[in-house]
Structure 1
């Protein structure tokens, strides 16, 4: 069954939204050392959204110059400020382009209350410099493409634009900080690739305990096709793990949830089942960490968050937690009391039997991965062949994006946007082939519920 593509995705962009997406790609390409004539779209950013966005969408530039005529991509002053502080002499990854490739699209293929204004202020353009000043263009580019799994590259970027209300500067700052966080701090790509097996190999006892208790389990989908994460706080005790082990477990679950996403679905639903919850289970640290992740590192990834069967001791706890929430995240939270409440959002076949539904999935079952379940990780030859294909597809996507940014009229722009969508589908299929050669099998791969 095909699902309707929501607004603000690459398949459903308005003219002004498309301009903002072009601007963000132009800034990324500038940092990566990829030549693109972006003066027209960046002039729109400099002039202002209402007048300039319309002019770019109609194929006219608010300010033309000899640079546009001779093909030189002279960056605007604003764009230069964004990246001049962190461009490194050794970070050139520029690409040459043939006339043939440019003319023919690829056919096949928070500890205190924060207002919305407070959140926006965290991502002023100057912070982009801080995020990138210790990262080379090469590692930023590599991490960005590593971050792409079954996502479309444009739709991943659009999460940040939607989260920052289509402010290109703030979306760029937010994306920069996420890439910095993924590279230098949390390293979630290493966590998902190592999977549960890495916890045993590293003998991280608290991390292992979280995994074996199945405190959070992925199974089923809500009525909008979003994967559901069932969290059972009654199984949690702060003394069972270190803070780092708890964070690692949270990221494992979030990244595993991403593996279940299929276009056009781009977010997950979380069901906090407070059955059996007591004060001995209360731990504010993971709550704060999850909130910060969804607000700052995984924007637009949360569909709904259900708080189910909250006991009488919960209201004072909620009074504290709700003051940490960004209004957008707070709007996703729904309190449910019984099966009928859940059935408004989840089909009965995916509501656990112990909560009155029809799902007899064993939420306490864990399939421990072994070396024999990861035999493909040793097949370096096949992995490298798929990676070579992936590199070629990425280069095709970059060429199509350059042509799209430089498009002088709406018809040409649409032609290259369609080409980008087609190439994105190829990139998704390529990752499906690559996945077992780069990611350790999870309990969901082993029990057959995850089909990448």
Structure 2
């Protein structure tokens, strides 16, 4: 597959991986992590230190090479301790978290046909005033915001969608990146912001991006791609699909029309600036969308 994939609906459907039994690899991985002091199996009183869904993400990221997966997992555990990730998320101020969502991909509150949450990132919404607001925050705090939002995705959105898709485990998202009305200068000014988020996610939240659909790409997109393709490993690059100015037919192969925002040929009256518009099953499960740092555990919303 070339770096930039111009995909048909059939190709995108085929890109959805079929589940297979990797139980033996997972058990061997757990044993190796346990021997290295990186994993604690469940006991009568306590759950496992890490769930199977998380461990499988690291295995998939390294094509089930257990030694390489252990190296990435160990590096991530070190990174989490260095940045005190658990405490950062637990104590993150609610208003700041909600405000930070304006700068990053946002969950629409809907899911694709396989149960994966659908995110949207409209870069033109990061206009000059918003970019200035972003840049007024220290680089360290911007990084912490990214971490907090990734924790929110992996600890709340993905477990919630897994609960609704049981017994299928949901561990990744489908993302629409909208480049309508984005200028080359705006992209250049955002390059550091985007690179930090992409690099951090690839290293520490592997295999959370299932499909990236880029819509409304400008004529200078090949130039942009030359900047950004080095931020991703080959596996992630293969998941990026360029859908052009009329993404509706292709998106409908992935997402029900009622769950596609109207801007992209669907029926959902949702814009990037909006809070999640929860589908009926999600509303029935959690009611309103909670604010701030929360977890979804065993069918319930829990404060960290």
Structure 1 unmatched ranges of 5 or more: 35-92, 102-140, 200-206, 368-372, 378-426, 439-452
The match for 1:218 among 98, 102, 107 is 107
Distance 1:285 1:33 in 2: 32
**Residue 349 of structure 1: CA displacement?**
1.1
In structure 2, relative to structure 1, the CA distance for the partners of 1:228 and 1:251 (3 Å cut) is farther
Structure with the higher strand share, 1 or 2: 2
After TM superposition, the structure 1 = structure 2 runs for residues 31-430 of structure 1, keeping only pairs within 5 Å, are 31-32=36-37, 145=49, 148=50, 153-185=51-83, 187-195=84-92, 197=94, 199=96, 210-211=100-101, 213=102, 215-219=104-108, 220-236=110-126, 238-241=131-134, 242=137, 243-258=139-154, 259-261=156-158, 262=162, 263-282=168-187, 283-337=190-244, 338=246, 339-366=248-275, 428-429=297-298
**Residue 277 of structure 1: CA displacement?**
1.1
In structure 2, relative to structure 1, the CA distance for the partners of 1:348 and 1:189 (3 Å cut) is farther
Normalising by structure 2, report the TM-score.
0.70
In structure 2, relative to structure 1, the CA distance for the partners of 1:268 and 1:170 (3 Å cut) is same
Q: Whose RCO is larger (CA < 8 A, sep 6+)?
A: 2
**Residue 335 of structure 1: CA displacement?**
0.6
Distance 1:294 1:156 in 2: 14
- For this pair of structures, how many residues does the alignment match? 253
Q: Deviations over 1:324-380 (max 9, x none)?
A: 33110001000112122322222211211123210013542359xxxxx88xx9xxx
Structure with the higher helix share, 1 or 2: 1
Normalising by structure 1, report the TM-score.
0.49
Pairing 1:25–2:11 present: no
* Structure of greater Rg: 1
Distance 2:41 2:259 in 1: 49
In structure 2, relative to structure 1, the CA distance for the partners of 1:5 and 1:317 (3 Å cut) is closer
